[in-house]
Amino acid sequence: MAKMKSLIFYGAREVSIEEVDRPTMEKPTDALVKVTLSTICGSDLHIYHEELPIPPPFPIGHEFVGVIEELGKDVSGFKEGDRVAASCVVYCGQCYYCQKGLYGHCEKGGLYGCGALMGNLGGTQAEYVRVPYAQLGLHKIPDELTDEQVLYVGDILTTGFTAARKGNILPGDIVAVFGSGPVGLCAQVCAQLFGPARVIAVDRLDYRLEVSRQIGCEPINAAREDPAAKIKELTEGRGVDVAIEAVGIPATMAGCLSSVRPGGRVSAVGIFSQPMEFPLPQLCMLDISLTMSICDVQWMPALIKLIQNKKIDLTFLGTHSMPLADAAKAYEIFDQKQDLVLKILLRP
C-alpha cells in the first residue's frame, strides 16, 4: 500500500511525523485530496493537552486546502486537479440534523482528526486526506485566490462569522470580542461586516491586541485592567450590545456576561474543556440572550465570495510557515505563543 507522511498524536504534548498508509477511496461519494497547505487550530491544542478524550495514537488536524487527486463517481461538479477548500466538518446532508441545518451534529459524519469522539476520521496535517461526502464538504477555490487566502474558510473564519451572526449584530451596535487569538480575530473581522459602531477587543497579550487595533478594533488588555469596568466606562455605564466569547475558558465567559448591557446578546464559540458556574441570580432579571455555537459550515461559499471580492483578507494571520516535517516544533511554538505567533502554515 502507498505511504504518506502524517502528524500523529501520542499523548500530552507529544506529536511526531510518521509514515502511514495513504488513505484510499472507500465510497463513490469520496474524494482523495492532496494537501497543499494545512495549519494548527486552537482546538488541536485541546487534543495536544489531552483535554479531549481521544486515545492515542491518532492522526490529528482539520484545517486544510488541496488538490483533488481522485474523485468518486457520485461526486459531480468537480474534476481531478481542481483546487479545493475543505470543510472541517464532514456531513451527509440527509440525516435528521443535516436537514435541520445542524451539520456539525451529522449522524453519519464528524470532524477530521478527532478520533472516535467525532467520526473516527483521519487528520489533515498530512500529505493526503480522504474526504467523505465530498460533494458537500469541498468548495472550489477561484483561480485568482491563493491557498493562503482561503485556508481559514473551512473552520476559523466560518466560526468567527458564526459568532458574529449568532450575536445578531445590528448597525450601530457596540460589540466586544473576548479573545484576540485566531478565532477572536476572525470574529472581529466578521463583526465589522454587520455595521457596528465600534468593536472592542479584549485579550491579555499586547502583540495580539496590536493586531486587533490594526484591523479597526479598540483594544483592552485584561492583564492590566478590568475589562468589564473599562467597557462600562466606554459605553456610558450600560455595557455592550453584543459580547462574543472566542476563547473557551470561564474567565472570558464571565467577562462577556459582566460586559453586556441588559437586553444584550452573548455569542460563544470558544471550545470549553471545563465547567463553570453561571451567575444566574445576576442574569435572570437582565434579559440577556446567550447562544453557544460551533462552526456553521453552510456559510463557506458566501465567505469565499467575500474573500474573492476583497471584503475579507485574513492573510495577516499566517505569521509562520514551516514544512510539515517540523510540525512537532510548530506545535510547541503555537502552544507557548512564541515569536508573536498567530497561525502556523504547514506545507507538506
> Tens of pLDDT along 12-55?
999 999 999 999 999 999 999 999 999 999 999 999 999 888 88
**Confidence bin at 281 (pLDDT 50/70/90):** confident
Alpha-carbon distance of 109 to 225, in angstroms, equals 44
**Confidence bin at 236 (pLDDT 50/70/90):** very high
Q: What is the mean pLDDT of residues 177-186?
A: 98
Alpha-carbon distance of 85 to 175, in angstroms, equals 30
So what's the pLDDT on residue 54?
86
Is the pLDDT at 118 greater than 90? The verdict is: no
Q: Which residue has the higher pLDDT, 283 or 27?
A: 27
Q: Helix (H, G, I), strand (E, B), or coil: what is residue 146?
A: coil
So what's the pLDDT on residue 117?
79
Is the pLDDT at 247 greater than 90? The verdict is: yes
Alpha-carbon distance of 3 to 24, in angstroms, equals 11
Alpha-carbon distance of 174 to 239, in angstroms, equals 8
Is the pLDDT at 96 greater than 90? The verdict is: yes
Which CATH code is given to the segment(s) 3-155+296-347? 3.90.180.10
Topology given in CATH for the domain delimited by 158-292: Rossmann fold (3.40.50)
Is the pLDDT at 282 greater than 90? The verdict is: no
Taking only the tens place, the pLDDT of each residue in 287-316 is 999 999 999 999 999 999 999 999 999 999
Q: Provide the phi-psi class of 110: left if phi over 0, else alpha when psi is between -120 and 50, else beta.
A: left
Is the pLDDT at 280 greater than 90? The verdict is: no
Q: Where are the domains of the chain?
A: 3-155+296-347, 158-292
Average pLDDT of the residues of the chain:
96
Taking only the tens place, the pLDDT of each residue in 44-76 is 999 999 988 888 999 999 999 999 999 999 999
Global pTM reads 0.96
Is the pLDDT at 115 greater than 90? The verdict is: no
So what's the pLDDT on residue 273?
86
Alpha-carbon distance of 347 to 321, in angstroms, equals 7
